[in-house]
Amino acid sequence: MAPTKVDQATIIILDVGRKVSVPEEKNGQSFFEKGRECAGRIIERKIISQGKNLLGILLLGSKTTKNNLAEQAPGTCKNIEMLTELQTPSWSMIRSLPTEPSKSKGNWFDALLVAAEHIKNGVFSTKIAQKKIILMTNFIVPCDTDEKQIKQAISGFQEEGFEVDVIGPDIYSEENKNYDIELARLFVEETKGATATFDYTMRYLLFHKKKATNAVPWNVDLSIGPNIKIPVSAYIRIKDEPVVKKWNKAIRNPVTNTASSSEGVKKDKIHINTEDQTTVTSDNVINGYEYGQQIIPFSDCDKSMLYDPGQKSLKVYGFTKASNITWQNLNGDGLSYVFGRKHNKKAQYALRCLVECLLELDLVGIVRRVYNNGNAPKMYALMPVIDTSNFVCLSMVGICYKDEIKNMAFPVTNLKKYTCTDEQVDCFKELIKAMDLTNAYDESEFDDTEAFPIAKMVSPSAQYILDCIAYRAMHPGKPLPQPRDDIMMLFKIPPLIEKKSRDVIEKLKKSFVLNKVEVKKRDKKQVQAMDIDDYCQQNQPSTSFDITNDIPKIDLNSFKKSESVVRIGTINAVSDYEALKQEGKTVADLSSQMCDAIESMIFGNLDGNFSRALDAMMHFRNECIKSEPNLYNNWLKTFVLELADRKRNNVIEMINAQNVNYILQSENSLSTIKSHSDDSQLYETDTVPELTDVQISSEVNDLFDNM
């Protein structure tokens, strides 16, 4: 069997003994607690990044002794426990870390030997590219080993290619100096390992690492004219990809709340004939095209008329001044780097020559790319680039087609009222100086003073998703946390910059007049003139408009207005009435206004929809029933007469039908009218509230339909 390849095998040696259990400062964390947290973070990072890694955990100073060397030679390598052997990192590793330190102590040098032995012999038929031992101890327990043995071990480690990292104590600090730390330093230096304190490590591991994508070349000949062909390989360099490419779907088992093993999700695509609602099988579906309101069927035979893009290729169209290609021209998906073909020195040489000449002449290439035989061609810009990581190559970015330009028009801004003064510009210049992000952090505290470095910032959304994954794995069933502060920091102005900009901001506020435009509510209460109302109705016969006008009716009871209503208008007669009543006016005070409003609503109406007028009448009538029935009855009498004069019999009929006829004595004893001349059974007051209800609900429905 061919050996499996693994990028890295790591063994973490975590000291859990008595000597690491005491906090260094009062109320601080002990070395053990810090070590445990750090080990957990390292495991988590390895899980999330999903690399080809193996990980093992060795406990130093454990109560039990369990390791290969101890088995081979009983009595040696005591208190060293192989907690997990080398394997793919998993959440259970984090869970199995001991929560309490032991009362024993172990020898760190022995632990190193155990780890080395395990990496060498513990896994079979596996080729390991990088072998790492991470030692987390404070070296308070001496190893009692003579120099000769140490030297021997180091040379053995070197031979096998082991790397020893020490995390935890600062092994270069004068304070911590002891013999064991000196030895540890020797290990680190001789095996080309690394060392860091817990604080530093935790800061470094603050954010997750996404699963890496292997660079896969797209191989093609870059052709310049018919005869020059340079073999090249293009690699994707920058691409916006989701952190988890595809989520799998499963059914929740209601008992365990986890994915069910007996139920699954099935997705089907069904084609339905929109005319007769029958299902059409997919082989009976053909492509069509909607053109000028007609459907043009486009079956296979017509495909011969279609464009043949040709074979996979990358053909130079020409070269143009670098400044001709601007950010606005680019609409591709990410960026690729183009190198001369691997192992083809001549191609690499030719490409390098091309890159240098393009740079010297300040030109870029325009190329036509066919990704694979028959794929639609796309145009790209080929720009020379010398990258910080020493790539000398061409960078390839998609440029737009004419068909993709939207040809937008914007309002003119070079008008006199939009001119800005020099003082205003200077004010912004001051702001720019104050908020220069290349100098955002104090040099003495940070290595890099630049804030928001391009391509070095982590993506807040990606980090949050990975956070959630880690949290859910370790805390199943618990609700997900909010983004942590470390992530939210990525949207905050660095404190130093904020401080520097404060004064300039004050100055800016003074030199510009910026008024927030209140979003105008569709409040037409102020509008009194009849004609405007009707004009709106004529021009916008849409239902949405009517509904907006009617909204207050729905919310009649809670309707409270801040601005005062002067008189009853025609648009919201009912609410106007209510508003004025709130101000203390009586029915008698308001009746003439209300009557005017109702009359103008009916006489001025053009669309034949009298619901608002009738609503107002209903309201007026109900108000009058309470106290002054004759107000209503007297008005109605003259009004009906007038209607008859104007031959508006339809309105009279409506008044009869809608229960807004005269108020009867049975409703209020003050009324002088005993019964309607015609069919009085129709007007039963108890139907009134129901009727209003019905109206409202249908309007609410319409309103939501239109939203």
When binding is defined by CB under 8 A, the residue of 92, 564, 609, 685 that contacts other proteins is 92
What is the side-by-side strand order in the sheet with 162-168? 80-87, 53-60, 4-15, 126-136, 162-168, 195-197
Q: Is 231 in the site for other proteins (CB under 8 A)?
A: yes
Q: Is 641 in the site for other proteins (CB under 8 A)?
A: no
Q: Is 401 in the site for other proteins (CB under 8 A)?
A: yes
| Cβ–Cβ < 8 Å for 397, 335 | yes
Q: Is 219 in the site for other proteins (CB under 8 A)?
A: yes
Binders of other proteins among residues 273 to 302 (CB under 8 A) are: 273-276, 280, 284-299, 302
Q: Is 559 in the site for other proteins (CB under 8 A)?
A: no
Q: Which is nearer to other proteins, 393 or 568 (CB)?
A: 393
When binding is defined by CB under 8 A, the residue of 150, 186, 196, 316 that contacts other proteins is 316
Binders of other proteins among residues 47 to 66 (CB under 8 A) are: 47-48, 50
Q: Give per-residue burial for 344-364: e unless 16+ CB within 10 Å, then b.
A: beebbebbeebbeebbeeebb
Of 68-76, 111-119, 213-221, 557-565: span binding other proteins (CB under 8 A): 213-221
Q: Is 503 in the site for other proteins (CB under 8 A)?
A: no
Q: Which helix (H) or strand (E) holds 645?
A: helix 629-645
Binders of other proteins among residues 117 to 176 (CB under 8 A) are: none
Which residues are within 8 A (CB) of 185 and not within 5 positions of it... i.e. 6 or more apart? Answer: 171, 172, 195
Which whole-number Å values give the CA distances from 413 to 160, 407, 655, in the listed order?
A: 71, 17, 57
Q: Which is nearer to other proteins, 61 or 365 (CB)?
A: 365
When binding is defined by CB under 8 A, the residue of 194, 505, 527, 530 that contacts other proteins is 505
Tell me the number of residues near other proteins by CB under 8 A.
206
Residue 385 C-beta: closest distance to other proteins, Å = 4
- 556 closest CA partner among 581, 530, 585: 581
Backbone angles phi, psi at 161, to 5 degrees: 80, 30
Q: Which amino acid is at 412?
A: V
Residue 33 C-beta: closest distance to other proteins, Å = 23
Q: Which is nearer to other proteins, 148 or 345 (CB)?
A: 345
- 108 closest CA partner among 130, 84, 80: 80
Q: Which is nearer to other proteins, 174 or 404 (CB)?
A: 404
Q: Is 201 in the site for other proteins (CB under 8 A)?
A: no
Of 28-36, 77-85, 233-241, 624-632: span binding other proteins (CB under 8 A): 233-241
| Cβ–Cβ < 8 Å for 346, 254 | no
CA atoms of 235 and 233, how far apart (whole Å) = 7
Q: Is 265 in the site for other proteins (CB under 8 A)?
A: yes
When binding is defined by CB under 8 A, the residue of 1, 146, 410, 557 that contacts other proteins is 410
- 422 to 461: interface string for other proteins, x by CB under 8 A: --xxxxxx-xx--xxxx-x----------xx-xxxxxxxx
- Rounded to the nearest 10 degrees, how much is the dihedral formed by the CA atoms of 346, 351, 353, 357? 160
Binders of other proteins among residues 336 to 365 (CB under 8 A) are: 337, 339, 341-342, 344-350, 352-354, 356-358, 360-361, 363
CB count in 10 Å sphere of residue 701: 10
Residue 675, sorted as left (phi over 0), alpha (psi -120 to 50) or beta, turns out to be beta
Q: Is 248 in the site for other proteins (CB under 8 A)?
A: yes
When binding is defined by CB under 8 A, the residue of 175, 270, 478, 608 that contacts other proteins is 270
| Cβ–Cβ < 8 Å for 208, 467 | yes
Q: Is 412 in the site for other proteins (CB under 8 A)?
A: yes
Residue 122 C-beta: closest distance to other proteins, Å = 19
CA atoms of 167 and 42, how far apart (whole Å) = 11
Q: Is 235 in the site for other proteins (CB under 8 A)?
A: yes
Provide the H-helix boundaries in 583-628: 587-603, 611-626
Q: Which is nearer to other proteins, 360 or 690 (CB)?
A: 360
Q: Is 256 in the site for other proteins (CB under 8 A)?
A: no
- Which residues, listed in sequence order, are joined to residue 197 by a DSSP beta bridge? 168
CA atoms of 681 and 664, how far apart (whole Å) = 12
When binding is defined by CB under 8 A, the residue of 263, 523, 607, 705 that contacts other proteins is 263
Q: Is 465 in the site for other proteins (CB under 8 A)?
A: yes
Q: Which is nearer to other proteins, 435 or 613 (CB)?
A: 435
- 604: three-class secondary structure by DSSP: coil
